Amino acid sequence: MAAAYPNPDGVIAFRRRGITIGEAYFDEAPVEVDRVDLMRVVGAFSPPDDGARQLHTLVLDLSADEDAIFEQMSKDTRSKVRRAMQKDPLQVGAATEPAAADVDAFADFYDRFAAAQSVSGAFRPRLHALADRGNLVLTAVSGEDGQVLVRHAYVAARGRGFMLYSGSVLDQSGDSGVRNLIGRANRYLHWHDIRLFKERGFDVYDFGGLDVTGRSEKTAGIARFKQGFGGEVRAVYSSTSARSPLGAVVKRVLGLRGVEF
């Protein structure tokens, strides 16, 4: 059954660099979205049009029994989740209706992580649009001293919890014990989030992308981490269409530059 969220269809809009962009998560928008220059379909399991871009992701079927979901994890992942739950001084929490301050706190945390990893920071207009429409879930796990160790952000729509961002605290101590604790905390937070979405009636937990080609050592390592939870590899599709003359120009220019939407 699809979870009853304020905006179950997962359709949002925001401004970026002078244009208005609409996004429909996981399928075509059920109604025409007015006053957007570009309309994106994100993460659909079936290609929305002939020009759709194909990627891959890893999904868990949340209709399965909780014990069965846990047992499909690798032995190493199960062991680390159990240790985190039973022995580590960790606290988990979730904001299923995050306020603007919650969104900014998440983005500040993620931006520090992203800078250290040389990746793009959080795109705040999208996060705030998702929160305003009731399609954003934020979760976090903290250590004994209250310091947040890991944060996750999800799109919650159409019965699917889709990971948008995952970031961890910057450990500059060089202590392998601290690094291992953060790794266990991240696995524990995933398990907490899986249970959260299952309890709220969602059908699918989506890890938000998976490198199936081994394009880099880093992304291959992230893929191994995710696959420790079991699940199924699925193809997903995204596409962008112009909805105004300005949108057509922007789409054509970015396409000529080889920029992916």
Residue 5 has pLDDT above 70, yes or no: no
User: Coil, helix or strand for 5?
Assistant: coil
Q: What is the mean pLDDT of the chain?
A: 92
* pLDDT tens per residue across span 123-167: 999 999 999 999 999 999 999 999 999 999 999 999 999 999 999
Judge whether residue 27 has pLDDT over 60. yes
Determine the distance from the C-alpha atom of residue 201 to the mean position of all C-alpha atoms in its chain, rounded to a whole number.
Answer: 18
Distance between first and last Cα of the chain: 31
Token pair for 105? 């706190």
Global confidence as pTM: 0.93
| Cα dihedral across residues 136, 56, 25, 116: positive or negative | positive
Question: 10 Å Cβ neighbour count for 226?
Answer: 22
Q: Which of these CATH numbers, 3.40.50.620, 3.30.70.980, 3.40.630.30, 3.60.21.10, describes 11-256?
A: 3.40.630.30
